[in-house]
Amino acid sequence: MGALMTPLAAALYALLAFYLGGWWMGRWAGNFSLLLFLMSVATFVFWLAERFHFRPAREAAARALEQEAQRRHAELQKMGIAQVDDRLEEAQAQALMPPWWVEWTAGLFPIIVCIFLLRSFLFEPFKIPSGSMIPTLAVGDLILVNKYHYGIRLPVLHTKVVGLNPVQRGDVIVFRYPVDPRADYIKRVVALPGDTVAYINKRLTINGQAVPTTALPDFYDEDSLRYAQQWSEVLGEKPHRVLTDKAVPPFVLGTFDHPHAKACSYTAEGVQCTVPAGHYFVMGDNRDNSQDSRYWGFVPDENIVGRAFFVWMNFGNLGRIGAFH
């Protein structure tokens, strides 16, 4: 059986390299949660084999060496030979030494399963790839997402088994993109199930009430080398900043067809939607540079990954580290 484990471990790593290589080159979309789950299962199998078969076999071999050495010492003592250099400790160490596949499979099981559980139920890191959430989040921000804030979901299946806090207006959430669930998006929750939300002439109203907005000094975007209008907006309990571009017209151009398209109406001044049950209307803080619910519809509750709350690193600007709203 030991001879079988080496090619199995080699095949496991060959498949892993193939999968990661194709993911890196863009041949297919990767699913890190599924990958961690499969690695946890595979290394667990190797861990069980090591714990209950191979390690006991090596320990038995080491004991057999000791018993053989004791028997040999007894025979030699009868012959008057008292001291024998049989290198027992060296032989036992060699017998107890695990093969390479143990360290790279069973040995990694506790680490992989801890990462899997931590990432699935507590916190997950993400990297901001675009400027749709400027000025709240910048390109290159590495953020943490609270996976249990809204409830406990089964990993890989994404089924909620325990509900906790409700989603609130103003929350910044990471979710699986409804058009392509393999991709993760980050936006701000603007409207809840049952709300009527309108974004007309770049002003937001919810259920007929204008969202409180205060003008701020223009924002200079270092990436685009342009100034944008900046506003303080209050959706939840705390204000956040949003940007608009005077050069961009208010109407929505290039919408996607989605299951609840009839819940929205589009005019030259903007869009108005009634949010269906179990769904949320989300927008980017960089309002004129964000593909969001205005274009592709609503976010189903089952697509929510978690609540984003902390920038833990930005290698280009360490001053961005900290909590955000």
Q: What is the pLDDT of residues 162-171, one digit of tens each?
A: 989 999 999 9
What is the C-alpha separation between 310 and 243, in angstroms, rounded? 21
**Is the pTM for the entire model greater than 0.95?**
no
Lookup result for tokens 């609503």: 298
Better pLDDT: 184 or 88: 184
Answer yes or no: are the C-beta atoms of 55 and 98 closer than 8 Å.
yes
Query: Quick one: which H or E segment has residue 96?
Result: helix 88-96
Structure tokens that stand for 188 in this block = 């701000």
Catalytic residue among 40, 120, 132, 293: 132
Taking domain 125-323, whether its CATH number is 3.40.50.300 is answered by no
For residue 73, the model assigns a pLDDT of 75
Q: Which amino acid is at 189?
A: V
Alpha helices in 234-301 (DSSP H): 293-296
Q: Is the pLDDT of residue 304 over 90?
A: yes
Domain boundaries, the chain: 2-116, 125-323
Q: What is the pLDDT of residues 27-75, one digit of tens each?
A: 777 788 889 999 999 999 999 999 998 899 888 888 888 788 778 777 7
Closest to 173 in 3D by CA, of 305, 32, 20, 30: 305
What is the C-alpha separation between 59 and 97, in angstroms, rounded? 10
Integer CA distances (angstroms), 72 to 67, 82, 85, 96, in order:
9, 11, 11, 21
Look up 187 and say whether it is catalytic.
Answer: yes
What is the C-alpha separation between 109 and 114, in angstroms, rounded? 8
Chain centroid to CA 73: 60
Closest to 265 in 3D by CA, of 253, 277, 276, 274: 274
Work out the angle at residue 193's Cα, subtended by the Cα atoms of residues 191 and 194, and round it to the nearest 5 degrees: 95
Integer CA distances (angstroms), 18 to 15, 195, 268, 269, in order:
5, 46, 49, 50
The strand pairing partners of 171, in sequence order, are: none
Look up 262 and say whether it is catalytic.
Answer: no
Predicted confidence band of residue 85 (pLDDT cuts 50, 70, 90): low
Q: What is the pLDDT of residues 198-222, one digit of tens each?
A: 999 999 999 999 999 999 999 998 7
Answer yes or no: are the C-beta atoms of 204 and 189 closer than 8 Å.
no
Catalytic residue among 187, 202, 290, 293: 187
Instruction: Check whether the bond before 250 is cis (ω within 30° of 0).
Output: no
Answer yes or no: are the C-beta atoms of 56 and 50 closer than 8 Å.
no
What is the C-alpha separation between 13 and 266, in angstroms, rounded? 52
